[in-house]
Homo-oligomer: A and B are copies of this chain.
Amino acid sequence: MIAAIIICAVILNWVLRRLLMRAVTQIVRGVKRAQDVDTTSEMQSAPYVNARAVQRTRTLGTVGRVLITWIIAIIAMILILNQLGVNLGAVLTSAGIVAAGLAFGAQNLVKDILNGIFMVFEDQFGVGDYVTTGEISGTVEDVGIRVTQVRAIDGTLWFIRNGEILTLGNSSQGWGRALVDVTVDAHQDLGNVSELMVESAQALMRSEKYARKVTGEPEVLGLESVFGDRATLRLAVRTRPEAQWEVQRGIRAEIRRRFKDADIKLADELPKQQGGQK
């Protein structure tokens, strides 16, 4: 009888894992084929997007296989103990206490793994996304169950335990917004300055390099602050995700050029800390 239980468990485990792996393989292949078709696509992050789908499938596949094996093993063991006439209640109690003890001792491990699985399920980010968590910003290189690998801009590869990711900012989803604060000498006509700022951004949008990256109309939000001889204006424009930094630099350069031509004076930099505001 016990032998039968063991054999059934092994076969069931093998079959279920097999089915899961086949499903994973098919999804991965499907993604890859789509990738081959998509090669003419011009989205810069295409290989990343596919790598992401593939990796997400594989990660969940791994988790699934481990779960299948554990659940079958535990059920089989309970059945066998039952056959051997062991008191089920006592065993459950013991197991519960041991589980609690282990859960406590390895608290951080459990926290890391649970958070990792949920992050993959919720698709918070994928390989190639530019993310920020705590004081670390960079491109995701690997999404793991326990640790996530993020490559910072200076090439440092950061290993971040998933349980330490309390809040996570993903700059590669949907859209970005380029924000340019310009501080000018306040004695000038600010209406004129605003106009020039918008024109600069519009000129950028017409340029070949930036046309595809800017997706909205530029807008001067207004006077962020005004002091004796300094007035700060903020320009905002929607961009493709991850393009906001490049567009900001482009707009800054363009604004500077036009201000020079129009003889508008910029104010000096103050050595202060800046807080945020919408």
Q: Please judge, given known A-B contacts A93-B97, A226-B266, whether A104 and B103 are in contact too, CB under 8 Å.
A: yes
**This protein's copies in its complex:** 7
Q: Which residue of B lies closest to A241 (CB)?
A: B155
Question: In angstroms, how far is the closest chain B Cβ from the Cβ of A115?
Answer: 7
Partner of A223 from the list B98, B122, B156, B253 (CB cut-off 8 Å) is B253
Determine whether the beta carbon of A186 is less than 8 Å from that of B256: yes
Residues of B within 8 A of A166 (CB): 160-161, 164
A91 at the interface (CB under 8 A from B): yes
Dominant secondary structure of chain A at its interface with chain B: mixed
Give the docked Cα–Cα distance between A117 and B105 (Å): 15
A83 at the interface (CB under 8 A from B): no
A200 at the interface (CB under 8 A from B): no
Determine whether the beta carbon of B146 is less than 8 Å from that of A118: yes
Partner of A105 from the list B103, B147, B153, B222 (CB cut-off 8 Å) is B103
Give the docked Cα–Cα distance between A18 and B19 (Å): 31
Q: Please judge, given known A-B contacts A101-B97, A107-B105, A177-B153, whether A222 and B244 are in contact too, CB under 8 Å.
A: no
A61 at the interface (CB under 8 A from B): no
Partner of A269 from the list B230, B238, B250, B256 (CB cut-off 8 Å) is B230
The residues in A between 161 and 198 inclusive whose CB is less than 8 angstroms from any CB of B are 161, 163-164, 166-171, 173-179, 183, 186, 190
Determine whether the beta carbon of B271 is less than 8 Å from that of A272: yes
What band does the interface of chain A fall in when counting residues whose beta carbon is under 8 Å from B? 35 or more
A106 at the interface (CB under 8 A from B): yes
Q: Which residue of B lies closest to A230 (CB)?
A: B269
Interface centre among A103, A119, A151, A159 (most CB of B within 10 A): A159
B-contact bits for A82-107, CB 8 A (1 contact / 0 none) = 00001111111111111111111111
Q: Which residue of B lies closest to A243 (CB)?
A: B155
Interface centre among A91, A97, A164, A186 (most CB of B within 10 A): A97
Determine whether the beta carbon of B103 is less than 8 Å from that of A122: no
Give the docked Cα–Cα distance between A205 and B69 (Å): 54
Residues of B within 8 A of A241 (CB): 155
Q: Please judge, given known A-B contacts A147-B124, A224-B249, whether A266 and B100 are in contact too, CB under 8 Å.
A: no
> Which of A5-13, A26-34, A43-51, A129-137 participates in binding chain B?
A129-137
Q: Please judge, given known A-B contacts A158-B167, A161-B166, whether A98 and B96 are in contact too, CB under 8 Å.
A: yes
Question: In angstroms, how far is the closest chain B Cβ from the Cβ of A68?
Answer: 20
Residues of B within 8 A of A98 (CB): 92, 95-96, 99-100
The 6 residue pairs across chains A and B that have the minimum distance between CB atoms: A100-B101, A222-B249, A103-B105, A89-B90, A155-B176, A96-B97
